[in-house]
Amino acid sequence: SAAGVLVCLLEYPRSRRKKGSTMERCGQKYLTAVVKLLGPLTRNYYIRAILHAALAVPAGFLLSTILGTVCLGIASGIYLLAAVRGEEWRPIEQKPRERPQVGGTIKQPPSNP
């Protein structure tokens, strides 16, 4: 049960993409703050791969949790592949909204009446 909470804490906040835009999940900013607080322990995908693999080992001994073991094993492999490719978790930061300049929106009057 505690392992499930830990996995949900790590998996819910989306990472920012290198290209394009990423939509934030509902309530993600609160969990993003927690993940950022833990620093490289949660940002590094090698550590996440090891963590998922370690959580899968005890679950593999019971038949009733074999599906969870398979899912954690697949997630571990995906994180390991992403880490080898040089990816890491990056928070989604809100860009400040640009306000239009008052002087730039005023059009020049016609020069010939």
Residue 23 lies in a domain: no
Query: Who wins on pLDDT, 1 or 7?
Result: 7
Under the banding of pLDDT at 50, 70 and 90, the label for residue 76 is very high
The whole-model pTM stands at: 0.69
Residue 63 lies in a domain: yes
The DSSP call for residue 88 is: B
Q: Mean pLDDT across the chain, nearest whole number?
A: 80
Least confident of 4-8, 16-20, 64-68: 16-20
CA pair distance 101, 85, nearest whole angstrom = 42
60 Cβ contact list (under 8 Å, min separation 6)? 66, 69
> How many structural domains is the chain composed of?
1
Residue 85: what pLDDT? Answer: 92
Residue 80: what pLDDT? Answer: 94
Residue 98: what pLDDT? Answer: 62
CA pair distance 84, 88, nearest whole angstrom = 10
Q: pLDDT tens for residues 22-72?
A: 777 887 777 888 887 887 777 888 988 998 899 888 877 888 888 888 988
Residue 78 lies in a domain: yes
Residue 57 lies in a domain: yes
List Cα–Cα distances, 79 to 41, 60, 75, 101, in angstroms. 14, 19, 6, 45
Residue 72 lies in a domain: yes
Residue 113 lies in a domain: no
Under the banding of pLDDT at 50, 70 and 90, the label for residue 94 is low
- Give the residue numbers spanning the domain of 77: 48-86
Residue 2 lies in a domain: no
Residue 59 lies in a domain: yes
